[in-house]
Amino acid sequence: MLLHQNIRGIRNKLDFIVNNFLDYDILCFTETKLNSIIPDVLQLQDFFRKDVSSYSSGFLVYASSHLRPERKLEFEQILSESLWISIQDKRREILI
């Protein structure tokens, strides 16, 4: 199961996320409003983050390790305000 949420600032919502959404295989959050001086949040296995600025945008993706997630930086070079993850199911590769 996949969840996407425009979180509009994630720093004060971590407890809510951990308490309500960890049953999902993939968590995608946009508008995290983090920057590089803010330490990693949502410290879960296979966690990916891309910051744009602390005032707007930013992306965070958590993918369960059984999906064998891998970040696809080559797509991010084409679309700079994006975060791409490849996951594997039993039959195919899926890009998120």
The pTM of the full predicted model, rounded to 2 decimals, is 0.81
- Domains of the chain in start order, with CATH, are 2-95 (3.60.10.10)
More confident residue, 47 or 58: 58
| Residue 64 and residue 58 in contact, taking contact as beta carbons nearer than 8 Å | no
**pLDDT band, residue 2 (cuts 50/70/90):** very high
**pLDDT band, residue 64 (cuts 50/70/90):** confident
Region 65-74 average pLDDT: 88
